[in-house]
C-alpha cells in the first residue's frame, strides 16, 4: 500500500491528484489490475471528472454549495456539517482499472481530491491489486 499527501489552500477545493496516482501506479510496477484510492477524512472525498476545463470543478463546488448550504441549522455544531454531507455524497473511494502500467482514464478525465473543510494537510491511500494474483 502507498500513501501520498495533499495540501489544500481553501475551505472548498478540488485538487487534481492524477499525477500522484499515476506515479503510485508506476512505482508499484503494476501492469494489469486495479488501483483503489481511499480518503480517510470525513470532510473530504475523491472523484473522477473532467479536468480539461477548470470551470467544471468550480461548478461542482458551487452546485454542492447550493444543494447543501453552510448556513443550515445543523444539529452538529462544529461548523462543518455541510462538509460532512458533501463528502458523503461524493464518497471516500475510487477504483481505477490499470492496464499496461497506467490507470485507464478517459480523454478529459482527471482524479480529484475534494476538500470541503480546509485548508488542511490531508493524505490519500493507494492500494494496487494485481489481476493475476489478486494482490500486490
- Distance CA(56)–CA(60), nearest Å, equals 6
Q: Quick one: pLDDT at residue 134?
A: 64
Q: Quick one: pLDDT at residue 132?
A: 72
In a domain, 106, yes or no: yes
Coil, strand or helix: which one is 130?
A: strand
Q: Quick one: pLDDT at residue 56?
A: 98
Edge-to-edge strands of the sheet including 109-115?
13-16, 109-115, 44-50
- Please report the sign of the dihedral spanned by the C-alpha atoms of residue 32, residue 105, residue 95, residue 111: positive
37 pLDDT exceeds 70? yes
In a domain, 136, yes or no: no
Contact of 110 with 14, CB cutoff 8 Å:
no
Q: Quick one: pLDDT at residue 1?
A: 93
In a domain, 35, yes or no: yes
CATH code of residue 73: 2.60.120.460
CA 54 distance to own-chain centroid: 16
Tens-place pLDDT, residues 65-98: 999 999 989 999 899 999 999 999 999 999 999 9
131 pLDDT exceeds 90? no
In a domain, 95, yes or no: yes
Overall domain count for the chain = 1
Q: What is the mean pLDDT of residues 29-44?
A: 97
Residue numbers of the domain that contains 80: 2-130
Q: For all residues of the chain together, what is the average pLDDT?
A: 96
119 preceded by cis ω (within 30°)?
yes
pTM for this model (two decimals): 0.95
In a domain, 102, yes or no: yes
- Distant-in-sequence, close-in-space partners of 78: CB < 8 Å, separation ≥ 6: none
Amino acid at each position: 500500500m502507498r500513501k501520498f499527501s495533499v495540501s489544500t489552500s481553501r475551505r472548498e477545493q478540488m485538487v487534481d491528484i492524477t499525477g500522484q496516482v499515476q506515479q503510485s501506479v508506476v512505482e508499484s510496477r503494476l501492469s494489469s489490475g486495479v488501483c483503489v484510492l481511499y480518503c480517510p477524512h470525513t470532510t473530504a472525498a475523491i472523484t473522477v471528472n473532467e479536468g480539461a476545463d477548470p470551470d467544471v470543478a468550480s461548478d461542482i463546488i458551487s452546485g454542492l454549495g447550493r444543494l447543501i448550504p453552510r448556513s443550515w441549522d445543523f444539529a452538529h455544531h462544529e461548523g462543518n456539517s455541510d462538509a460532512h454531507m458533501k463528502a458523503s455524497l461524493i464518497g471516500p473511494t475510487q477504483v481505477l482499472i490499470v492496464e499496461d502500467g497506467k490507470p485507464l482514464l478517459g480523454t478529459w478525465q482527471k482524479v480529484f481530491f475534494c476538500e470541503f473543510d480546509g485548508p488542511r494537510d490531508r493524505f490519500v491511500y493507494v492500494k494496487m491489486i494485481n489481476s493475476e494474483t489478486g494482490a500486490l
